[in-house]
Structure 1
Amino acid sequence: MTSEHSFRPTAEDARLLKLALPALGNLVAEPLFLLADSAIVGHLGTPQLAGLAAASALLATLTYLCVFLAYGTTAAVGRRIGAGDLPGAVRQGVDGMWLGVILGVVLGLAGIVFAAPLVRVFGASPEAVPYGVTYLRIASIGQPAMLLVLASTGVLRGLQDIRTTLVVAATGAGMNVVLNLVLVYPVGMGIAGSATGTVLVQYGMAAAYAVVVYKAARKYDAPLKPDFEGIKQAATASIPLLIRTILLRIALLAGTILAARYGTEALAAQQVAWSLWGFLGLVLDALAIAGQAWISQLLGASDVAGARRATRRTIEWGVVLGVLLALVVLATRQGFIPLFTEDQTVRNLLEDVLLLEALFLPIAAPVFVLDGLLIGAGDGRFLAWAGIATTSAYLAAALGSYHLDQGLTGLWWALGVFMLARLIALGTRIRTDQWIVTGADRGASGAGTEDATAAAEVAAVTQTP
């Protein structure tokens, strides 16, 4: 192996880690909203907790599907920063934020009007439905703020100001606990207090981000009013990422549905295994987000050689991280499993499944990274088509395993097929030049400038004290 490809520290590693570590903190902070709500509402009673579970499942699904707001905005803003077009970068970000607000209003109204049937669809029992409806209707008021937060996060990632997103997310998570505790118990609002506290925090976070973007817009004379043509372009550009996200969600739901057909023990083991996989996915997502922000600026600056180096280095870090996480799972699974169940059947199933998780992590890690890099490059159309092909492969493998009665481990082998198919598709794409489109806009070449100088100038405006 040549020194060029050996895994030795490079000057670029510091930049990558500087982006990835705050991104990890941001990603971990976000799930604390639901965790805090569950812990606080759980002491009100089982029906209240069940109602929260149904409403939260719907809200989490909506947030998951709308993550394209963050991804698409990151790529668009990063390209403009790399090209030295600071006013254009802020303008793109503002368009994405307005798109988030509009979608939030539509989804929020739908949640208020259709709360009862939606809560029932997500499995709430008759005694839990009233509590779920109460929570969902109040929480739906926060949808415009929540989607504005998603879009704003994408803006700051594109500016490579991930520190601010970490500060806002961590502060919001802490305030959420305090407000919910006060409103649920001393004030006596019950489950409505939990939803109200979360909504207040969401609007507080949205306001914090709006102030940061406002400062940048004023400095670079970028318009803040809605530009409906720009909003339309942002929405159109986001469609491929939405398709990709829906396909990933289908794969997730299919695995859970098929696991349920093997019985309660299999479903319980699947829940624990998916929870661990999801947590490890956050770690890998942090690296993918860093690569996404980095690659968008390099392509915007027309630095093809730099983009290639950044791609190779980010993938190398992904492989190393995947191997390390696999070793951690192998070393800790014996102590991890008893924390979640005393049922020996479930423990036995988890023992087998966690071995497969460890086996697949070194494959999944570069998949996460490649996905993030291609999102940062704006290669959404390819990701959508690749998603159709790889999800079809997964569904075929999962259904084949089910018909052969291979049990829960068979479904996880199907996941391995899914990861391998994605690795082949994304890895083949990254080895070509088709995803490398330079300039401020994907599809239009432009002369680049010093992306680091542009990013540093914007960071001086957006960085929190």
Structure 2
Amino acid sequence: MTATAPVPGPVTLRRIFALAIPALVVLAAEPVYVLVDTAVVGHLGRVPLAALAIGGGVMSAAAFLGNVLAYGGTGRAARHYGAGDRGAAVAAGVQSTWLALAAGVLLAAFVQLFAGPITRALAGNGPDSGQIAAESETWLRVAILGAPFILVALAGQGWMRGIQETRKPMYIVLAANLLSAVMVPLLVYPAGLGLVGSAIANVAAQAVSGLFFLRAIAAEKVSLRPDLDALRGQLATSRDLIVRGLAFQVCFLSAASVAARFGAASLAAHQIGLQLWMFCAFALDAVAIAAQALIGADLGAGDADRARATARRVGWMGVVSGGFLAVVIGVGVLFLPGLFTSDPAVHEQAYVLWPWFVAMMPVAGLVFALDGVFIGAGDVAFLRNMIVAAAAGFLPLIWLAHILDLGLTGIWVGLVVFMVIRLTALLLRLRGGRWAVTGTAA
């Protein structure tokens, strides 16, 4: 018997907010925890904070891979949901979960094998680089054990968003991150584990979250067997998103590696700026998540005109959200760096990158909203090509900053250029309209 779902009605601001607000809570929970982690570790000193920047950069690869599965799963599930077939939407989530579990195990094994060379390469040959690499390797070997749980949890969020179930993921993610936020200061300081305590708290939160999402999909009463044909179809979709994610990782790891070559203070300040940027990016992604679910449902229901109207509306919401965050971050320069470290040298470097951080926010709001539109539409080949092209423009600027000794200014100017290139390509694609393909398959 096929489960059914109501055919979605017209997209209103209320419907967008009903999806975006719980998604915002989920998306913000992880970076808020990371900010807490950064603040706790930051008071151990500049070297542990720099080591966390290196290890956290590698761990972000797991989060990006999980988001690939989540975003692909949202679009597929949303199309079936929009066509009135909830059972097929959940079945797509089962296959995403199998992919997540396999990818997480492979990633954990790879990093265990190569943690030393990876951290030494990223730490470079700047001041304190040997100590930074050693502490980063220790942290990473523990933290990567959570990779399978990270990917399963993100895949779970993806299919649940596709069926427009937003409350359950919110409760799961909040509970897991609250547990971790409590554990971090206890393990780092009273328990005396230092930086390793941070890694253990990470794994604990990820395990709790992943197990709850596995329980949620088991409760749906659909077949939990892997379907090879469905898995191949999902891999074909995920392939383009994986290339896109890898391009992101090359960009951000390159930025961290160049920052390391300017010294521990520059890398620590870059870590603070980057984690705040990630927090803002996840907050802005709430609009993108709503766009994925709504665009997928509109196109699954066969209504391309409504999908285009939804795209315009979420685009404007992205701009407004980015502008609001620009104001908040601009005022935050007065106190935010001090929350993470008391080191004056790190504060000085943070003030260097701050204007560029603020300038990116309105651009990022529109970029992320339109990313959500095209992911929901299944237009992933375009997103792959666009990100690869943007990375090709960004990477020379980053390494030129190193060659010319431009410091964090050069790195963050490169990040601004990266966002502008993406925005230009997205607006041209939106105007063309070829992305609005109706039916249950993109």
TM-score class, shorter-chain normalisation, is 0.7 to 0.9
Return the offset for 1:70: 0.9
Match of residue 360 from structure 1: 360
Q: Which structure has the greater CA radius of gyration?
A: 1
Question: Equivalences for 1:53-452 in 2 at 5 Å?
Answer: 55-118=55-118, 120-121=120-121, 123=123, 136-177=140-181, 198-216=202-220, 218=221, 222-262=222-262, 266-337=266-337, 350-351=350-351, 353-399=353-399, 407-442=407-442
Moved more, 351-360 or 388-397: 351-360
Is the contact between residue 259 and residue 408 of structure 2 (CA under 8 Å) also seen in structure 1?
A: yes
Q: 1:20 touches 1:287 (CA, 8 Å); kept in 2?
A: yes
Distance 2:19 2:273 in 1: 28
Paired amino acid for 1:80:
H
Q: TM-score, normalised by structure 2?
A: 0.83
| CA displacement at 1:72 relative to structure 2 | 0.9
**Deviations, residues 257-313 of structure 1 (Å, cap 9, x unaligned):** 444555565545434333332222122112111212221111111111211111111
Query: Residues 351 and 205 of structure 1: is their aligned pair in 2 closer, same or farther, counting only changes over 3 Å?
Result: closer
Structure 2 counterpart SS, 1:226: coil
Distance in 2 of aligned mates of 1:409 and 1:189: 35
- CA deviations on 1:107-128 (whole Å, 9 max, x unpaired) are 2333444455555555497778
Query: Is contact 1:28-1:282 (8 Å) kept?
Result: yes
CA deviations 1:356-383 (Å, max 9, x no partner) are 3333322221111111211111111001
Contact conserved, 1:34 with 1:56, CA < 8 A, in 2? no
Superposition deviation, residue 14 in structure 1: 1.2
User: What are the ranges of 5 or more consecutive residues in structure 1 without an aligned counterpart?
Assistant: 1-9, 443-465
In structure 1, the residue corresponding to 2:12 is in which secondary structure?
helix
Aligned residues: 429
Write the distance in 2 (CA, Å) between the matches of 1:334 and 1:36: 18
CA distance in 2, matches of 1:378, 1:127: 45
Query: For the Cα contact (< 8 Å) 1:401–1:410, is it kept in 2?
Result: yes
Q: 1:164 corresponds to which letter in structure 2?
A: K
- The amino acid of 1:144's aligned partner reads P
> Which sections of structure 2, spanning at least 5 residues, go unmatched?
1-9
Q: CA RMSD in A?
A: 3.6
Q: Kindly indicate whether the alpha-carbon contact (under 8 Å) linking 1:85 and 1:440 is maintained by their aligned counterparts in 2.
A: no
Q: 1:31 to 1:11 in 2, by over 3 A?
A: closer
Q: CA deviation at 1:68?
A: 0.5
Give distance in 1, aligned partners of 2:411 and 2:133.
32
Alignment check: 8 A CA contact 2:31 2:282 kept: no
User: Given the two structures, how large is their TM-score scaled by the length of structure 1?
Assistant: 0.79
Question: How far has the Cα of 1:327 moved from its partner?
Answer: 2.5
